[in-house]
Chain A
Amino acid sequence: MSARPLPAELAAVRALVADGLAEIGDAGDTGQVWLRSATARLTAFDQVVTEAAGVLAAPTRLILVTLATFLVVAGSAALAGALGLGSGGTLALSGTTLLIMFATIPWAGRHVYTLTGRRRLARAAAHLSPRPVRATSPEAGLAGVPDRLLQARVRLVSAALRQAGAGNWSAPELRRAIRTDPVVRRLAHADQLLCQAVDCVERHLGDLRKDPP
């Protein structure tokens, strides 16, 4: 039972995934289509997890949006006054500026979340207990990668469930959380990418088993 905050948990998940990625790179078959696909999925996973770790808390978001609205509307109204527009012109100018601001919020949010997530993950990784050097089973090699990634997935999903709240763990409530909650949505996307990477590595291993090189 660990009640660690989300960035620490995500930093641990990232460390596990980085180990898996390094083992895929050590296997050397970078020309293989499945391994290349898995590497691409894991790279995208890293970005999504960074963004999920950086999502600001709801009160902070509320304050920021309120402040931005106030400043944008007051500024555009003052500008309209300076330009000498009438009341209709003032309303049109401030409304248009407000619409533009709301349209740029998702774009700006992605960048801000990536920045804060990078900082939070770095801080959490500094406090992380030093992990044992990987390759615990040297004979495993590529064959151990799916297990390692699935281990990371267990931690990721439990972090997502904790984020969704203990009260709503039934399937419809989780579906709603995946659709609406900003953190759970990104964690669900990351989980999907992780599953795709595991699937790709398993298909590569299945091909190897069918016709050994």
Chain B
Amino acid sequence: MRSLVREDPFSGENRPRAAAIDRDLHAVITDAQSRDWSADRPDRVIFARLGQARRRVRAAAGRGGADRRPADPFAVLLGAVTGLLTATVLLLTGIPAKMLPPGDLPPHALPSGNAPAPAPPAGNTPSPAQPADNAPSPAPPAGNAPSPAQPADNAPSPAQPAGNAPSPAQPAGDVPANAMPAGDVPAPADVFPVTLPADAVPVIAPLPLALTAVAALWTALLAVALLRHLRRRWDRATVDGPAPIDDHYRYVAFRRRIEACAAAARHHRSHRRRAAAIDLEYALDWLAAAQSELPRH
């Protein structure tokens, strides 16, 4: 019971989906509306009726509410890729951490001064470092200045780089690194101990990480603005063809696709999909009403 209606072999999809029909209808409607606004092809009835058809198709596709699709998917993709690349480069080079003077940071962000901090980043240091971790707390100036001559600092200093970057000897730090989502910032855990100098601010401290995120965001927005500028230039150069809303064959293609979609939905097991067929029939009515307003040849 896949298709009672012979599908259009040139419609570009062998099983018409309501979401795809919705997208194509939206393109036609936007084109007609822009031509109406620029007085190129003034008409206010046909695109309104196509809009009603699109509303029914959307209801059938199960997205009756507000338009949740991003307005410009390509720009969103470009911004995401640019932001991810920038963040990766900044994290690998550690530029925001190097730009910050170490004196401006709160002492817990420093590699060796974790004692006076309420939220020490090295809270998961292995147990041999724990007594030494509490030792410098009555002497904060000693904890801030990493001097290897002091006996209180000698004990935690080999443990600190391992506390900031997960090492194989540290099971608590390795679990989240393996459970990272696939689309996230790639953070090879074994890179940071190599690139991180011993006396620098760690890249993972809150302030450098936030600066990295903001820099990535601004680069992404810059890329999107550049894309928008280029597109405006391309738009000036394009010459409009005939309006797709005047194309009778397009209505025929839409009708076939909606009919095929409704026929597939009418015999579905789920009653919600069967109810979608009613919406699609309303959409067919509106499509016919829009086509009846076309000038006849």
Hey, which bits of chain A sit against chain B, CB under 8 A? Answer: 62, 65-66, 69-71, 73-75, 77-79, 81-96, 98-99, 106, 110, 153, 157, 160-161, 168-176, 178-180, 182, 185, 188, 191-193, 195-196, 198-199
Hey, which bits of chain B sit against chain A, CB under 8 A? Answer: 29-31, 33-35, 37-38, 40, 44-45, 47-49, 51-52, 66, 68, 70-72, 75, 91, 108, 119-121, 123-124, 163-166, 170, 172-181, 183-185, 187, 189, 192, 202-207, 209-214, 217-218, 221, 228, 231-232, 235-236, 238, 240
Knowing A73-B209, A86-B166, A87-B192, the reply to whether A174 touches B34 (Cβ < 8 A) is yes
Which chain A residue has the least Cβ–Cβ distance from B227?
A180
CB < 8 Å: which of B38, B66, B174 contacts A169? Answer: B38
Q: Chain A contacts of B45 at CB under 8 A?
A: 195, 199
Residues B48 and A199 in contact, CB atoms below 8 Å apart: yes
CB < 8 Å: which of B68, B123, B165, B178 contacts A82? Answer: B123
Q: How far is the CA of A140 from the CA of B184 in the complex (A)?
A: 63
CB < 8 Å: which of B166, B184, B210 contacts A96? Answer: B184
A–B complex contacts, Cβ < 8 Å, 23 sampled:
A66-B218, A69-B210, A69-B214, A69-B217, A70-B210, A73-B206, A75-B206, A77-B205, A77-B209, A78-B206, A79-B119, A81-B206, A84-B172, A85-B124, A86-B163, A87-B177, A87-B192, A92-B176, A106-B68, A168-B232, A172-B236, A179-B72, A191-B33
Q: Chain A contacts of B232 at CB under 8 A?
A: 168, 173, 176
CB < 8 Å: which of A79, A98, A174 contacts B213? Answer: A98
- Min Cβ gap B100→A in Å is 13
Q: How far is the CA of A195 from the CA of B32 in the complex (A)?
A: 13
Q: Chain B contacts of A171 at CB under 8 A?
A: 31, 34-35, 37-38, 40, 240
- Min Cβ gap B30→A in Å is 5
- Min Cβ gap B95→A in Å is 16
CB < 8 Å: which of B38, B180, B211 contacts A92? Answer: B180
- Binding site secondary structure of chain A: helix
Residues B235 and A176 in contact, CB atoms below 8 Å apart: yes
Q: How far is the CA of A153 from the CA of B36 in the complex (A)?
A: 12
Residues A95 and B185 in contact, CB atoms below 8 Å apart: yes
Which chain B residue has the least Cβ–Cβ distance from A195?
B48
Q: How far is the CA of A83 from the CA of B124 in the complex (A)?
A: 8
Residues A110 and B206 in contact, CB atoms below 8 Å apart: no
Residues B34 and A178 in contact, CB atoms below 8 Å apart: yes
Q: How far is the CA of A192 from the CA of B44 in the complex (A)?
A: 8
Residues B187 and A92 in contact, CB atoms below 8 Å apart: yes
Knowing A70-B213, A86-B166, A160-B37, the reply to whether A178 touches B180 (Cβ < 8 A) is no
- Binding site secondary structure of chain B: helix
Q: Chain B contacts of A62 at CB under 8 A?
A: 221
- Cross-chain pair count, CB within 8 angstroms: 190
- Min Cβ gap A202→B in Å is 8
Knowing A87-B192, A192-B29, the reply to whether A77 touches B206 (Cβ < 8 A) is yes
Residues A86 and B189 in contact, CB atoms below 8 Å apart: yes
Residues A91 and B38 in contact, CB atoms below 8 Å apart: no
Residues B187 and A91 in contact, CB atoms below 8 Å apart: yes
Task: Identify 8 new A-B residue pairs, CB closer than 8 A, beyond the known A87-B165, A170-B38.
Answer: A66-B217, A73-B210, A81-B119, A92-B184, A94-B213, A176-B235, A180-B71, A199-B45
Residues A88 and B38 in contact, CB atoms below 8 Å apart: no
Residues A86 and B71 in contact, CB atoms below 8 Å apart: no
Residues B231 and A178 in contact, CB atoms below 8 Å apart: no
Q: How far is the CA of A168 from the CA of B37 in the complex (A)?
A: 12
Q: Chain A contacts of B172 at CB under 8 A?
A: 84-86
Residues B35 and A74 in contact, CB atoms below 8 Å apart: no
Q: Chain A contacts of B37 at CB under 8 A?
A: 157, 160-161, 169, 171, 174
Knowing A171-B35, A174-B38, A196-B52, the reply to whether A85 touches B187 (Cβ < 8 A) is no
Q: How far is the CA of A193 from the CA of B192 in the complex (A)?
A: 55
Residues A188 and B235 in contact, CB atoms below 8 Å apart: no
Q: Chain B contacts of A83 at CB under 8 A?
A: 123
Which chain B residue has the least Cβ–Cβ distance from A199?
B48
Residues B235 and A91 in contact, CB atoms below 8 Å apart: no
